[in-house]
């Protein structure tokens, strides 16, 4: 078992911890979605990304998602978590790197 923690209150500019999970039918849309999500955070499972972003980037992401999916057959869930938290990892997990993500 492995754990990691976050505290969005520590940063001067308030940040938001996100968990984005998705089920996108089309390979083309799914690959484009994953590529976009790599600009916000990091993949933790095949259809799940974690990210720590500013409020402005969070709003930008929420505007982008509807344009990347087909609402009649795709599903995206964005969980917004603030404050402190803990993630417990079990089984095969890639090493989580604490790195800054910049979108230009």
Question: Which is higher by pLDDT, 103 or 62?
Answer: 62
Single pTM value for the model:
0.76
Cα separation, 52 vs 5, whole angstroms: 12
Going through the chain in order, the beta strands assigned E by DSSP cover: 2-7, 15-23, 42-45, 48-54, 75-81, 84-89
Can you say which residues are annotated as belonging to the binding site for Mg(2+)? 23
Helix (H, G, I), strand (E, B) or coil at 62: helix
Q: How confident is the model at residue 16 (pLDDT cuts 50, 70, 90)?
A: confident
The confidence score (pLDDT) of residue 95 equals 57
Can you say which residues are annotated as belonging to the binding site? 23
pLDDT tens per residue across span 39-94: 999 998 899 999 989 889 999 999 999 999 999 999 999 988 877 776 666 666 55
For each of the domains in the chain, give its residue range(s) and CATH number, in order of start.
Answer: 2-87 (3.30.70.240)
**Best mean pLDDT range from 7-21, 27-41, 81-95:** 27-41
């Amino acid at each position: 078992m492995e754990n990691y923690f976050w505290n969005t209150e520590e940063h001067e500019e308030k940040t938001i911890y996100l968990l984005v999970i998705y089920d996108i039918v089309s390979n083309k849309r799914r690959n484009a979605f994953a590529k976009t999500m790599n600009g916000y955070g990091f993949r933790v499972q095949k259809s799940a990304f974690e990210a720590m972003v500013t409020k402005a980037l969070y709003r930008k992401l929420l505007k982008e998602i509807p344009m990347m999916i087909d609402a009649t057959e795709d599903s995206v869930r964005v969980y917004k978590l603030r404050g402190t938290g803990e993630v417990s990892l079990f089984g095969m997990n890639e090493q989580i790197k604490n790195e800054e993500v910049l979108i230009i």
